[in-house]
Amino acid sequence: MVRRTPKAPRQELPRLEPAQRLEVGCREVALGFAEGQARAEALRCLDCKDPACVDACPLHIDIRSFIRSLLDGDYGAAFRTITETNPFPDICGRVCQHELYCEKACLLGKKLEPVAIGSLERFVAERRPVESPAARRNGGPKVAMVGSGPASLIAARDLAGLGYHVTVFEALHDFGGVLRYGIPPFRLPREVIDEEVRRLRGSGVEFVSDFIVGRTCSLDDLFEEGYAAVFVATGAGLPYLMNIPGEMLIGVYTANEFLTRVNLMEAWRPQAATPVHLGQRAVIVGGGNAAMDAARWARRLGCETTILFRRGRTELRARLEEIDHAEEEGARFEFLAAPVRLLGNDQGVVTGMECLRMRLGEPDESGRPSPVPIEGSEYRIPVDVVVAAIGQAPNPTLQRATPSILTRKGKIVVDENGETSVPHVFAGGDVVRGGSTVILAMRDGRAAAQAIHRALSGGESA
């Protein structure tokens, strides 16, 4: 019988020293638990009779059971338990916002710190047993995925497992959606994404890059090509603009553009074909994951970096770990302030930002206290680079090319089965929810795969 130690302190995830991170820009920062740490952390779990963590996980990973197997030293069994419901623990163990889901519900967290479920998931994922190659049974009907983010990847995997012939169409030249173009390699190494794509290819999924559905071909063309169903998971890649004077000056980016240039086009390399304009001082506007990612890149590219956020620290929406890491790396927060104007020089290059101080008011529709401008509180700061990371709306290309697809405020409208107004066209992830999280996109992808299977197999459940 294992003696549990819930009162022991939560184990800290080992991480690269901040100075090393800035020197070797792309190296992963969070290093993962060593074996002794994983065991000590697993021993904190109360082995609850009614584990709230499992209900709170959008994919309902049997967390209690995988922790039990980990404590038995049976990592293979722990891995199998996780992958029964989540095929991508290497990804989720690194980027899932556990504090919003399983760790928020963890019973231990009511009085003490919750079990570090995410870090345990990653520990187990790194001990993946040797697998025999997945059986290819993809002689079934053809199904198309539009977009290659986490919603499509899980749907493709589930449908290929059911014998469908799955093709993933991606607008960019590489696969993974935000996992690749938005989340930096120092948070999610590219090899982890490459490996998942390789495994999916091994199970028969076909990947087509540089292919924009709505431009390269239409949804109707896909059906004419013999696809029996389509899953649209085109994400939320249309950045909101600040709508302030000076936004078009050189050196002003949206997070989407900045991160795509750096992550996907490798603008951090000296001879990059699509470099970013740099300078001494960068200001990143926003408080979500994209803001932290941009700020951490700006530090690695040598800028003094300020994260300007119109609310307070408790209203930040980024993963707690990324906020900590950004601060450790020298990014400075300026709370309760918002830009109102950008100033430039004769060459049209940004040189300054006029800001206004804020105070917190009544909650708005997001449930957070609203930022209220303080009249007459304007002040100016010098800047060389500005990155607006204030949110994103759904990518509109496919919707514009398909007037029969019902949308609301740019988001595709779906019924309880994830089906759109166009028969046999399903949708999920950020294009339905607006900017959301990896795990909710995956939940949508799984639900869509089940609905597609029901629709194509005459009502059979997966």
Smallest separation, CB 12 to ligand FAD (Å): 19
Sites for ligand SF4 among residues 56-95 (CB under 6 A): 63-64
Sites for ligand FAD among residues 380-399 (CB under 6 A): 395, 397-398
Q: Which is nearer to ligand FAD, 336 or 414 (CB)?
A: 414
Distance in angstroms (rounded) separating the CA atoms of residues 148 and 177: 5
Dihedral sign for Cα 42, 47, 53, 58, please.
Answer: positive
Smallest separation, CB 154 to ligand SF4 (Å): 23
Distance in angstroms (rounded) separating the CA atoms of residues 38 and 120: 6
Q: How many residues does the chain have?
A: 462
Dihedral sign for Cα 81, 84, 86, 91, please.
Answer: positive
Q: Which of 22, 40, 52, 228 binds ligand SF4 (CB under 6 A)?
A: 52
Sites for ligand SF4 among residues 92-131 (CB under 6 A): 106-108, 115, 117
Q: Which helix (H) or strand (E) holds 321?
A: helix 320-328
Dihedral sign for Cα 431, 437, 438, 443, please.
Answer: negative
From the list 256, 251, 244, the residue with the least C-alpha distance to 291 is 256
Phi and psi at residue 169, in whole multiples of 5°? Answer: -100, 125
Beta bridge partners of 338: 356
Distance in angstroms (rounded) separating the CA atoms of residues 239 and 263: 17
Smallest separation, CB 89 to ligand SF4 (Å): 15
Number of residues interacting with ligand FAD: please give it, by CB under 6 A.
40
Q: Which is nearer to ligand SF4, 63 or 233 (CB)?
A: 63
Distance in angstroms (rounded) separating the CA atoms of residues 355 and 170: 39
Q: Which is nearer to ligand FAD, 165 or 443 (CB)?
A: 443
Smallest separation, CB 232 to ligand SF4 (Å): 35
Residue 233 interaction partner, one of ligand FAD, ligand SF4, none, beta carbon < 5-8 Å per kind: ligand FAD
Smallest separation, CB 97 to ligand SF4 (Å): 16
The answer to whether 152 contacts ligand FAD (rule: CB under 6 A) is yes
Q: Which of 43, 53, 146, 440 binds ligand SF4 (CB under 6 A)?
A: 53
Residues that bind ligand SF4 (CB under 6 A): 45-48, 51-53, 63-64, 106-108, 115, 117
